[in-house]
């Protein structure tokens, strides 16, 4: 197990399934390795990225955080979100999640998420 918590933030964006931001302390020691590079979210600010190392495998740039988010997102500062697709398994309340379609977004789809969901072909510029 890479991380487990009941203290995550769930961030909702239009036409996206939830993205979960997990406290850094919830991750196993050595699971997160900071890597160069960043991206910009118009709502949250500049993101920093991590490789995830576990079980002899590395998932490159599979996690991110906002070290200095915009004022509205200050509560998620330094909390880490994980792309579900490169993981063996991610769960919310015991349910295995499906990654949000596409290779850009980090939402986690569960049975209680209804669509349409941004990320599938033809949905990237709504």
Q: pLDDT by residue (tens digit) across 112-123? A: 998 788 887 887
Structure confidence at residue 118 (pLDDT): 87
What phi and psi values does residue 73 have, to the nearest 5 degrees?
-115, 20
- Residue among 24, 42, 19 nearest 34 (CA): 24
What phi and psi values does residue 59 have, to the nearest 5 degrees?
-105, 110
pLDDT tens-digit map of 22-62: 999 999 999 999 999 999 999 999 999 999 999 999 999 99
Whether 20 has a pLDDT exceeding 90, the answer reads yes
pLDDT band at 104 (very low <50, low <70, confident <90, very high): confident
pLDDT tens-digit map of 56-79: 999 999 999 999 999 999 999 999
Whether 5 has a pLDDT exceeding 80, the answer reads yes
Structure confidence at residue 126 (pLDDT): 58
User: Which percentage of the chain shows pLDDT scores above 90?
Assistant: 80
pTM over 0.85: yes
């Amino acid at each position: 197990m890479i991380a487990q918590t009941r203290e995550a933030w769930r961030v909702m964006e239009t036409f996206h399934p939830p993205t979960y931001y997990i406290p850094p302390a919830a991750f196993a020691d050595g699971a997160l390795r900071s890597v160069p590079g960043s991206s910009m979210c118009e709502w949250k600010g500049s993101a920093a990225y991590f490789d995830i190392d576990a079980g002899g495998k590395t998932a490159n740039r599979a996690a991110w955080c906002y070290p200095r988010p915009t004022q509205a997102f200050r509560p998620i500062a330094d909390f880490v979100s994980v792309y579900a697709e490169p993981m063996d398994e991610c769960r919310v309340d015991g349910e295995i999640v499906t990654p949000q379609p596409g290779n850009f977004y980090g939402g986690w789809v569960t049975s209680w998420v209804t669509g349409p969901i941004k990320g599938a072909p033809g949905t990237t510029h709504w």
